[in-house]
DNA sequence: CGGGCGTTTGAAGGATGTCAATGATAGTGG
DNA sequence: CCACTATCATTGACATCCTTCAAACGCCCG
């Protein structure tokens, strides 16, 4: 694990790497102050558990750096990744005492952790924040529905293609925010093959085969096991079978969230 | 279609068949009055479209009778049921101009329809209602995650078993509310085989085979194509591979929603 | 240099989809 | 009232995608 990422983490909100996309950006100074009072920065090394399954839901958090995997286990031990949480996104179980899923570090994590009860109290005083939480929940739901289709209607090759497109999209979103233009068109998977397989509902062998098939077709170029240059974006989209708006939902770019109109009512 | 179900529908809230489990039950007289002003009863015959995909999200609704199927289509025409909405539950796309999914009548429907903008306005004036909408969204999300696991980690036999258990549970919930004790342990599928297949991510042939396999094992008794008596509940649960709380989530029985504590803050 | 982990590659087997034909049921019109 | 037709469900034979099992390879780190 790259220890450098977890060292010397700045805990000032003004230096927050995702401040423009978090909940904090949707409230006023007062709400912001209240939130900062109950939050603190926490790091979790890759593979670590943030919140176990059926554990006390004592806190919620925003991801500052890294990716959280949300998993669900069956009685016999089979485990399945049901969702991923990317930087700027919020996760945790609100208004319930116990978690229904396990939250784990898919990579080295930097989190902005908030006490759950404290957070719920802030929500009560700030309807605009609760509104934002609700909207984010709707987006999560749309993404989950999209994934339902992905996991059943799509073949494994289509799923792998979709995954490459989503990671590419997410990477470009991050670069946009950081105002950097280099290394575009490169899809970066923070997940190990094992996690990819679990997330896509298949096996590491099948993924390996499909990735190499796409490379043989000239659609992508394999840089290393987790970096892929997308050579033919159109073709990759065509193979994935998805529409642009499908991918937007999966990449966390809400297609037409007309939240501003209603939001203004709260100010 | 059974036309009788859609005839002479009573439009009085006091006669609402699901009044104890709807949103309406979570607000005060004032909110209730506001809601009733913007709502009206609407019937849709089985197979009809309630809201098309990428249509104007002009209204939202509560299901009074019947089941709504939420579907998503791919470019090439493949269609997938991503969710079902049962009586007492709410559906629709809030705070967005266009739907991302298609909502269709899986059976004859009686809906309590509300103008979307009007409903959003009521939510603004009644935080306790928006809070309830949010909680229901969280439950929907948990159910969608549960389904992600179901559709990938589980075999088709396990999925069929799960479906039978869920329909049994939902039926018993309905009977509870209606204070009737007859025909317990009978699983009733309102879905056609085609819809079942789409919902479970498999084919009608596979479902047919598994249902008959379960009957041959003495786990269920096939009454007709849509009615199944569950003879060995323990065994069926064991075959499904799920835990009791997994099934609770899928059946719409939230395991431990401690909403009362926070809700009291609003009153 | 050696061990362990992650990935790749190959071969074989199985679960499930596909194709096809028959049977059951309900609604329709004569 | 009864054939007639359409839709749905069942059943069988076959095809195939994908998993499983197995082994080799590469790479990082001790």
* Residue A10 in this model has a pLDDT that exceeds 50: yes
Contact B83, B100 (CB under 8 A): no
Dist. CA A168–CA A189, nearest whole Å: 9
Average pLDDT, chain A: 87
- Quick one: how many helices (H) and strands (E) in chain A? 10, 11
Instruction: Write the DSSP string, A10-55.
Output: ---GGG-TTTTTSGGGGS-HHHHHHHHHHEEEEEE-TT-EEE-TT-
- Beta strands per DSSP E along chain A: 39-44, 49-51, 59-65, 68-73, 79-85, 90-91, 102-105, 109-115, 186-188, 220-224, 227-230
* Residue A105 in this model has a pLDDT that exceeds 60: yes
Average pLDDT, chain B: 87
* Those residues with Cβ within 8 angstroms of residue B140's Cβ, 6 or more apart along the chain or in another chain: A141, B83
User: How many other CB atoms are found less than 10 A from the CB of residue B212?
Assistant: 12
pLDDT at B61: 96
Stronger pLDDT, B105 or B255, i.e. the higher one: B105
Residues of B in contact with A75 (CB under 8 A): 241-243
> Does A173 share its domain with A59?
no
pLDDT at A150: 92
A54 CB less than 7 Å from any atom of strand C: no
Last residue of some domain: B126, B161, B182?
A: B126
Classify residue A29 as exposed, middle or buried by CB count within 10 Å of its CB (0-12, 13-18, 19+).
exposed
pLDDT band at B255; cut points 50, 70, 90: low
* Residue A128 in this model has a pLDDT that exceeds 70: yes
Residue with tokens 């006490």: A115
pLDDT band at B7; cut points 50, 70, 90: low
pLDDT band at B4; cut points 50, 70, 90: very low
* Residue A151 in this model has a pLDDT that exceeds 50: yes
> Does A119 share its domain with A192?
no
> Does B119 share its domain with B157?
no
- Map residue A90 onto helix, strand or coil: strand
pLDDT at A3: 44
Nearest-5° Cα angle at B118, B114 to B124: 120
Pairing of strands A59-65, A109-115: antiparallel
A24-42 pLDDT, tens digit per residue, is 888 788 778 888 889 999 9
* Residue B265 in this model has a pLDDT that exceeds 70: no
> Does A116 share its domain with A164?
no
Range of the domain at B30: 3-126
In a domain, B79, yes or no: yes
Residue with tokens 């994935």: A240
> Does B16 share its domain with B117?
yes
How many Cα atoms are found within 13 Å in the side-chain-facing hemisphere of B38?
20
Interface of B with A in 197-256 (CB under 8 A): 201, 241-243, 245, 249, 254-256
Q: How many domains does chain A contain in total?
A: 2
Sign of the CA dihedral running A228, A234, A237, A243 = positive
Domain CATH number, residue B204: 1.10.10.10
- Least confidently predicted of A210-224, A244-258, B104-118, B170-184: B170-184
pLDDT at B3: 43
- Least confidently predicted of A162-166, B126-130, B154-158, B181-185: B181-185
Q: Which nucleotides of C are covered by protein (CB under 7 A)?
A: 6-11, 15-20, 25, 27
Identify the residue among A102, A134, A136, A238 best suited for mutation to test binding to B, counting B beta carbons within 10 A and taking the highest.
A134
Q: Which nucleotides of D are covered by protein (CB under 7 A)?
A: 8-13, 17-22
pLDDT at A133: 96
């Amino acid at each position: 694990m790259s220890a450098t990422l977890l060292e010397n983490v700045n805990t000032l909100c003004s230096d927050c790497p995702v401040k423009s996309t978090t909940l904090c950006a949707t409230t006023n100074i007062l709400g912001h102050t209240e939130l900062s009072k109950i939050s603190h920065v926490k790091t979790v090394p890759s593979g670590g558990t943030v919140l176990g399954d059926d554990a006390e839901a004592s806190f919620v958090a925003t991801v500052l750096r890294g990716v959280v995997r949300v998993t669900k286990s069956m009685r016999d031990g089979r485990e399945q990744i049901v969702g991923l949480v990317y930087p700027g996104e919020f996760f945790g179980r609100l208004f319930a005492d116990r978690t229904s899923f396990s939250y784990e570090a898919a990579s080295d994590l930097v989190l902005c952790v908030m006490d759950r009860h404290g957070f719920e109290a802030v929500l009560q005083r700030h309807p605009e924040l609760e509104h934002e939480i609700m909207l984010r929940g709707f987006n999560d739901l749309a993404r989950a529905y999209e994934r339902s289709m992905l996991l059943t209607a799509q073949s494994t090759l289509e799923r792998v293609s979709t995954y490459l497109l989503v990671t590419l999209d997410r990477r470009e979103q991050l670069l946009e925010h950081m105002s950097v233009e280099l290394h575009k068109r490169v899809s970066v998977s923070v997940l190990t093959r094992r996690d990819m397989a679990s997330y896509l509902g298949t096996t590491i062998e099948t993924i390996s085969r499909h990735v190499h098939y796409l490379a043989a077709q000239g659609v992508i170029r394999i840089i290393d096991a987790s970096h892929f240059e997308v050579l033919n974006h159109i073709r990759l989209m065509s193979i994935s079978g998805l529409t642009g708006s499908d991918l937007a939902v999966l990449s966390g770019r809400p297609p037409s969230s007309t939240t501003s109109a209603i939001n203004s009512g709260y100010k």
